[in-house]
Amino acid sequence: MIELTKLTARAAVDLLRRREVSPLDLVDAAVARIEATDGDLNALPTLCVERARAHAERIMATGSAAADGPPWLGGLPMAVKDLNDVAGVRTSYGSPLFADHVPETSDILVETLEANGAIVIAKANTPEFGHGANTFNEVFGETRNPWNTAKTCGGSSGGSAVAVATGQTWLATGSDLGCSLRTPAAFCSVVGLRPSPGRVARGPTRLPYDNLWVQGPMARSVGDTALMLDAMAGAHPADPISFAAPTAPFIQAVDNPTLPKRVAYSADLGGLTPVEGEVAGICAAAAQRFSELGASVEEACPDLADAREIFHVLRANQFVGDLAPIVEENRDRVRAEVVWNLEQGYKLTAETLAKAERARGRLYARVAEFFETYDLLVTPATVVAPFDVEIRAVDEVAGHKFENYFDWYTIAYAITATSLPALSLPCGFTGAGLPVGLQVVGPPRGEAPLLGAARLMEDVFEISARLPIDPRPGNA
């Protein structure tokens, strides 16, 4: 059964559809793998095995009318980030305030995935309320990087990235406001896709019109990522910004990719952020390999000079709108950074918010024009390699001191401000054997060409075949 966990998600789903394995077989294989590895990792602190087996038996008994369609996963077990409600399963949001919370109903994403043949087998660890790029909390503790268990796996979708990298599950959900799909994917050598706002329906949520945070897939390969996106995408009446899935499935774009003609590369988004030297070198060399496919690679970047300020303002406002009622009642029971975020939001004025919204409109116009010339924008996914798990946030790179605990991932959140789809693609390793990811940004609502181009580069890099891995102990 352990060998089943080495399959790609696409291969496992193909076996399920041909009934060469059963959903129960895969549930048992995943449970065995979790039991064998998670003691060193703490990726999946909450299991729901009996619920998963019951769901597997229902699928085996009834099948599905959608069994031949691209969204149908056939009974494939997956992990769900502990920010998503799963009916009858402990869901803590990484906060001691909700340590014993068990929702009665699942959220839209979980309902969508389960309707498309996914089986939830576990909840993946996340920092408190998903804020921060290192996965730790007061409920379950810290999640460790399987490439070196003394290092962080990144965050906030850290548990999901680790589960996928180690073969505990074939797929996992993630979410991304500033970097939370892309950073852990880069740190764990998996693929994490931040889709366009509205591509994946969300809810219920306190801010249904918010378009900064999105939910997306995490997988070991680009093909598996497209498979999961097909099972996630689509409109839902409870999500006012969601829109219909495309007529052609995303998996088709991966199997029949379009070669990008012009690729723009920027090591630092036009001087917006410092990048550690070794990471910058690995990513620059990786970007140049697009030329092996016949693409033209040029040093270029849209004008993102004000993206940092825009994101800071809109993020602070989003935090107040989403979490103020909860935090205000429990200031002494949440992380100090959570309270700090709230205070930053309270400082905002209507004039400041209006200025940021106008600036964001101009920013979008600039990037849309940029993608009339270029097919892709490529950058490092992170500015550093995985660091000591005990370090909560990076405060300095290349002599530059960051202003706050989240500025070290400016390279990711600047792209958030544009609403463009972006993924982290494994592209190499440091001299110490730690993963490095390439951030590949596509045109507006361009997930299909983005996935196709990433698949072509994945074939060049030949890294995805190294997964899953067993946890590797190491020193900080």
pLDDT digits (tens, 9 = 90+) for 182-219: 999 999 999 999 999 999 999 999 999 999 999 999 99
Query: Residue 106: inside a domain, yes or no?
Result: yes
Residue 2 confidence class, pLDDT cut points 50, 70, 90:
low
Closest of 262, 282, 456, 296 to residue 375, by C-alpha = 262
Residue 65 confidence class, pLDDT cut points 50, 70, 90:
low
Closest of 408, 412, 313 to residue 359, by C-alpha = 313
Catalytic residue among 81, 189, 266, 424: 81
Average confidence (pLDDT) over 243-260:
97
193 and 75 in a common domain: yes
Q: What are phi and psi of 372, to 5 degrees?
A: -80, -20
- Examine the pLDDT at 1 and tell me if it is beyond 60: no
pLDDT of 70 reads 84
Least confident interval from 23-27, 64-68, 105-109, 339-343: 64-68
- Is 196 part of the annotated catalytic residue set? no
Catalytic residue among 95, 156, 157, 266: 156
Task: Report the percent of the chain where pLDDT is more than 90.
Answer: 97
Domain boundary (330, 346, 362) is at: 346
156 and 108 in a common domain: yes
322 and 218 in a common domain: no
Average confidence (pLDDT) over 293-306:
98
324 and 251 in a common domain: no
- Examine the pLDDT at 73 and tell me if it is beyond 60: yes
Residue 69 confidence class, pLDDT cut points 50, 70, 90:
confident
- Examine the pLDDT at 300 and tell me if it is beyond 80: yes
Query: Residue 263: inside a domain, yes or no?
Result: yes
Mean pLDDT computed over every residue of the chain: 96
Strand partners, 436: 428
Query: Residue 245: inside a domain, yes or no?
Result: yes
Query: Residue 75: inside a domain, yes or no?
Result: yes
203 and 96 in a common domain: yes
Q: Which domain holds residue 320?
A: 310-346
Average confidence (pLDDT) over 61-71:
75
- Is 106 part of the annotated catalytic residue set? no
**Nearest-angstrom CA–CA distance, 152 and 148:** 8
- Classified as helix, coil or strand, 45 is coil
- Examine the pLDDT at 476 and tell me if it is beyond 60: no
Q: For 93-103, write each residue's pLDDT tens digit.
A: 999 999 999 99
Domain boundary (318, 346, 374) is at: 346
Residue 412 confidence class, pLDDT cut points 50, 70, 90:
very high
Catalytic residue among 175, 180, 189, 242: 180
pLDDT of 475 reads 72
104 and 246 in a common domain: yes
- Is 22 part of the annotated catalytic residue set? no
Q: For 414-432, write each residue's pLDDT tens digit.
A: 999 999 999 999 999 999 9
pTM greater than the 0.85 cutoff: yes
Q: What is the CATH number of the domain that holds 429?
A: 3.90.1300.10
223 and 342 in a common domain: no
Query: Residue 472: inside a domain, yes or no?
Result: no
Domain boundary (346, 370, 401) is at: 346
Query: Residue 38: inside a domain, yes or no?
Result: yes
Residue 66 confidence class, pLDDT cut points 50, 70, 90:
low
Query: Residue 476: inside a domain, yes or no?
Result: no
96 and 223 in a common domain: yes
**Nearest-angstrom CA–CA distance, 80 and 173:** 5
177 and 79 in a common domain: yes
130 and 8 in a common domain: yes
Query: Residue 12: inside a domain, yes or no?
Result: yes
Length of the chain: 476
- The number of distinct structural domains making up the chain is 2
pLDDT of 384 reads 98
**Nearest-angstrom CA–CA distance, 337 and 359:** 27
Q: For 113-125, write each residue's pLDDT tens digit.
A: 999 999 999 999 9
314 and 295 in a common domain: no
Q: What are phi and psi of 269, to 5 degrees?
A: 55, 50
- Examine the pLDDT at 220 and tell me if it is beyond 60: yes
Could you say which DSSP state residue 435 is in? E
162 and 64 in a common domain: yes
**Nearest-angstrom CA–CA distance, 360 and 92:** 33
In the 3-class helix/strand/coil scheme, how is 277-336 assigned residue by residue? HHHHHHHHHHHHHHHHHCCEEEECCCCCCCHHHHHHHHHHHHHHHHHHHHHHCCHHHCCH
